[in-house]
Structure 1
């Protein structure tokens, strides 16, 4: 299960099943196609595949030489088609990959006139080449307004964020003024600070700082990639000279809301809220490219790629969790707080019904946050039926025996599923950190298989479109949709704990 990158490619080409269509699953080859970027860049793979396609047959009869050529070419085409299907729009960002596909298409078109066995590949390959070249022509860089302001862009259907995109990014100065810069999605810390310096006409050496609502400062490295997507929910990006670092203070709007929004959403049905939350989560989840999971696990710096779609999806989990805590801690009336707990338990139940396990867990984890779980008077007044539901939901979160309760639940559900993403990422990190990528300078392919297995679990979750049987959207459908996409939260645990003690002081 170890070998040089070239030998591993040879092995998969030689052992490839020739009786299956390239769109049918072939777990062994799929593992290679998914994981090769860790040990063999696309430029190298394309070169090797082209050499294999044009491989010279060993001495023998004309019939034997013809059969050898057909087999070699079919194997390369089979692998190339699987590779293009997995990489999707990422191929458009690599000129070498597109050139390879175009050259391959030209060779197959010519060869298929003599070698009839290649004819089947021509229309499929033509479709792939056409799709990518048209996309590249259309690829005018669209500006993504920052995903983190509570602007109306949240209400538009989410599109995947690509490396070639530009974003508008607000960067603040120590006096709370800000400048808006336009940078590439995968921009490094150095590129952001130089864009800010240019805009402010400043020659000073600037530090790029992520400032949380609690005032915690994280100085970003000049080499950090895609810095905009690492911001916490109410975090902001600051640029300042080193001598101003200690003077940085959070902006007033980083504190989050000072009043709850229960009066708005208590009138919305729990099922509608869960449905709209699931629609939004599905959009975010659908935007996550499989390779982002790899970049997240192995470190995106080594790939110089963004994981912005995955970051937004993880941020959403944290946001839903904090929404629950924020609403409960901002609700001054005991009877209303009891109503709130009931409402959240109902929303969680509907999320589970819609197979949205990500928001289901986020809500339950929000309710088990210390600022909420310590509110004894509130929990005492919760009807026993709801206490029972909550206990059942909490048992699904039991981490014992490697989250067995959750894993069993997932095996019994048919896709489409929105999985509990933090656990999938934990699985991948565990496989990565517990196993070496190279052993004696050879690729440890057993490790690649383990990580590919987790990514296959994500693929399985998305193997069917999300389309649950749901009651017709009510009259306030647009209002519910707008509400769930613009959740305002307090993300400072100290503030939430203080509010919680104001509601129910410590019992002496």
Structure 2
């Protein structure tokens, strides 16, 4: 029932969940369904041998004479499990749970699973002197909770934290742009901008905050991108972004559009995908600008356009649009000699892609 699916998906816009469940129970009472007891019995029957097997295994050290019986029971449990699996009809549509435990790691080769607000992550919070403390916090933690963890790490007393020199939480970008976060704000970890970090300071030291040295210094470009084939890079981007996209539940789009800041804790996976789009844009512009020679820069520009074309062919529109928007950056557009060195075929292809954005 498509209408019922849509109502279940968007019910939070009209009814609280508890009231919605009451309406569902009134509309679809369990007792009115024929054969419900029989269905329940069929569901519980395969569980009986499993429960018996687990209970016996707990006492196996006391009754050594039951080894043969335990082995037979184990075979029975395996037979029942295989039979139940064979009789289970294949689902028409793969159903993913919205919330699954996710351990945040740097390696992008691991299978991605969805974030949930109660997941715990490790985060660095920097001080004005660029020292830092590492805190363990929930993904949905408020600014007030984060500051409490930082204060505990710094061994501030409760009295000191209530004075005028109480800590505030600040986001700082590599450009030097600063913003003070309000104590009630939540899920700040997933909404940090590119090259942004969290700083804890007093209001007196707010004006003296400067970006981290590694954010200001220019580092050499990534030589791997010059050696890798366009197909390899495009396929890697597509696979990685598909893993991120699979973690997003439809409800996150509803919350992001209709609930805004209030629904941020429920849109962490969508926020990460949007942040990834910004990362790819930033990566494209940075790699081009870090090329020292004109020939290498023109070759990389040609390769990036080809990567965008392959991503479009792979239906990875996130990578496609991110690369094209990154190439539309004002700093890239001003590279006149680089664009003149680009073959006419790729110039026309880029104009075609540019019109799509």
Q: After TM superposition, is the score higher than 0.5?
A: yes
Match of 1:344 among 304, 308, 316: 304
* Mapping 1:282-297, distance limit 5 Å: 282-297=242-257
The C-alpha deviation readout for 1:163-209, integer Å capped at 9, x for no partner, is 22111111111111111111111111111111111121113222111
SS in 1 for 2:227: coil
The C-alpha deviation readout for 1:224-251, integer Å capped at 9, x for no partner, is 1111111112100111111111111111
Shift of 1:347: 0.6
Q: Is the Cα contact below 8 Å between 2:102 and 2:112 reproduced in 1? A: no
Q: Which runs of 5+ in 1 are unaligned?
A: 1-25, 56-68, 75-107, 114-122, 146-151, 398-508
The C-alpha deviation readout for 1:60-105, integer Å capped at 9, x for no partner, is xxxxxxxxx74xx59xxxxxxxxxxxxxxxxxxxxxxxxxxxxxxx
Q: Is the Cα contact below 8 Å between 2:191 and 2:275 reproduced in 1? A: no
Select between 196-205 and 235-244 the one with higher mean Cα deviation: 196-205
Q: Which residue of 2 aligns with 1:42?
A: 17
When the two structures are superposed, what TM-score results if normalisation uses the length of structure 1? 0.55
Is 2:85 the partner of 1:110? no
Inter-partner Cα distance in structure 1 for 2:39 and 2:103 = 43
**How many residues were matched structurally?**
299
Q: Is the Cα contact below 8 Å between 2:221 and 2:287 reproduced in 1? A: yes
Inter-partner Cα distance in structure 2 for 1:356 and 1:173 = 40
Change (3 A) 1:309 1:289: same
Change (3 A) 1:110 1:241: same
Change (3 A) 1:257 1:353: farther
Q: Which residue of 2 aligns with 1:153?
A: 107
Change (3 A) 1:361 1:164: same
Q: Is the Cα contact below 8 Å between 1:348 and 1:359 reproduced in 2? A: yes
Inter-partner Cα distance in structure 2 for 1:142 and 1:277 = 21
Shift of 1:377: 1.3
Inter-partner Cα distance in structure 1 for 2:114 and 2:102 = 11
Inter-partner Cα distance in structure 2 for 1:282 and 1:231 = 22
Match of 2:289 among 301, 304, 329: 329
Shift of 1:303: 4.2
The C-alpha deviation readout for 1:397-456, integer Å capped at 9, x for no partner, is 2xxxxxxxxxxxxxxxxxxxxxxxxxxxxxxxxxxxxxxxxxxxxxxxxxxxxxxxxxxx
Match of 2:104 among 121, 140, 144: 144
Inter-partner Cα distance in structure 1 for 2:27 and 2:218 = 61
Inter-partner Cα distance in structure 2 for 1:282 and 1:321 = 18
Change (3 A) 1:361 1:319: same
Q: Which residue of 2 aligns with 1:310?
A: 270
Q: Which residue of 1 aligns with 2:333?
A: 373
Q: Which residue of 1 aligns with 2:136?
A: 182
Q: Is the Cα contact below 8 Å between 1:225 and 1:306 reproduced in 2? A: no
SS in 2 for 1:332: coil
When the two structures are superposed, what TM-score results if normalisation uses the length of structure 2? 0.76
Is 2:208 the partner of 1:247? yes
The one of the two structures with greater contact order (alpha-carbon pairs below 8 A, sep at least 6) is: 1
Change (3 A) 1:52 1:386: closer
Shift of 1:144: 3.0
Q: Which residue of 1 aligns with 2:318?
A: 358
Q: Which runs of 5+ in 2 are unaligned?
A: 41-86
Shift of 1:35: 0.7
Match of 2:186 among 209, 214, 225: 225
Inter-partner Cα distance in structure 1 for 2:141 and 2:203 = 21
Q: Which residue of 2 aligns with 1:269?
A: 229
Change (3 A) 1:144 1:383: closer
Please tell me the root mean square deviation across aligned C-alpha atoms, in Å: 2.8
Q: Is the Cα contact below 8 Å between 2:102 and 2:113 reproduced in 1? A: no
